[in-house]
Structure 1
């Protein structure tokens, strides 16, 4: 169960949007004053408005609140499409087999990331890497990424990984070791196309399949065993 509230602009985009509209205003104003060509001016203005609205859409940040029993629930940490549900060996931190659930975000998705489970943050790290397409399987281990481990309320470790994509050049992670976290809270933000992986215990009940669409902080992707 969940509720969705009104939309706002994410704090990661406010400065970008301010300087972008300022720059577009200067460019359009200069073209209008110095070229005296209404066709060119109107065409550039139209393109500028469309471009600005696309960037504005990217930085939208819906206020969402999950309603219901959150005990042992794993919710989608991001909007997007399920591109992997498979058993893998997680070798960077857990060093054990896990079920990996991966969500790919296009530039048209909301790019805020939520905590997938209630608990306590026990580990946060950042790894430099490549910027290949985020939908590729090897992007999980070769791309630039941030790793967050949460000790869930049932005592199990849940690992979440933010992965940069071909266009993404900045991963923002708000989580800090020792933080108490809740699924309604933002864990971070990835700019311009990316992916989020969640590594779950092998006995978790998986509730999604390949190509399913997810809504961050709303879609239940798994349940932990009690």
Structure 2
């Protein structure tokens, strides 16, 4: 074979080999850069889907028996003295047992934390005779010479309770929490101007709750609860009540 022809054949073979190698490299790079399938949804959309925490709105009405506890040093305009010295008197020697009524709106978060705000009314029942300790004195309300004033407590209540179980799934739960009452006592007497005194109280809430109904789609439910609290601190002459009662709570998913 002539040398010229041999050189031409070698040149053509070299170019063919270079072209084949370049094509193989390009195809391999294409396979490496191709994105892998992540399922039906593209990755950005799938990663953006997040589950929001469960929240339940609550409407509540309640009624409780109220037992006075603690001590007080005055009743409206009447200061308690023993031989001209101020003195504290047990609240149950001044007040009779009474009742409270309330209405509340709240939210349960994460299945356990129940935070609420509402209005509460308490009727204060005063005894006809208040005996002053360690003395022979007493305050006697005797109509018409010394008529007994009427006292009523109006307040806003803020509560934060922890429900130990998820009521929606378990069906019942005990609870424990704290409550803050901010309000006033009104003192009324025939032919006299009404007088008011601002006060605050702090209470421990406790009890249990039982689910009695839930709709088929699980968005609404009704529960009965024991509505109990013990007010361990307060200002003024508001009675520190131990309340024992019942509440009807209506839950709806938000």
TM, length-normalised to structure 2: 0.27
Higher strand share goes to which structure?
2
Compare relative contact order (CA 8 Å, sep 6+) and give the higher one, 1 or 2.
1
Greater percentage in helix: 1
**Higher radius of gyration, 1 or 2:** 2
Q: TM-score, normalised to structure 1's length? A: 0.30
